[in-house]
Amino acid sequence: MITATQIRGARAMIGMSIEELAAASGLPVETVRALENGEFAGEPHALFDVRSTLEANGIIFLSSGNQDEGGPGIRLRARTSTDDGIRPENLNAANDD
């Protein structure tokens, strides 16, 4: 289970508006607003859709048992890049920007 605070924080962390989250998760804006206000009753599929969308955008949800202190939280997934740049041994004037 995730909290309303986690949803709001996750959305803010990735710079996604309520409207963008609603569109990406296939839900009405009013439903996303209700979830962010803690109104989960009768909306288990909506909560799942929002969580899945945020996770697909790099959010990791932490339960209260994941940390030594504190309650539930969020974090960004480590970004992996296929572009590691230019190795030092390959630096030269031709590839100097």
Q: Which domains does the chain have, with CATH numbers?
A: 4-76 (1.10.260.40)
pLDDT for res 70: 72
Write down the pTM of the prediction: 0.74
User: Which tens digit of pLDDT belongs to each residue from 25-77?
Assistant: 999 999 999 999 998 777 789 999 999 999 999 999 998 765 556 778 899 98
Cβ neighbours for 34, distance < 8 A, ≥ 6 positions apart: 43
pLDDT for res 85: 66
User: Which tens digit of pLDDT belongs to each residue from 4-26?
Assistant: 999 999 999 999 999 999 999 99
Q: Is 29 in contact with 11 (CB distance < 8 Å)?
A: no
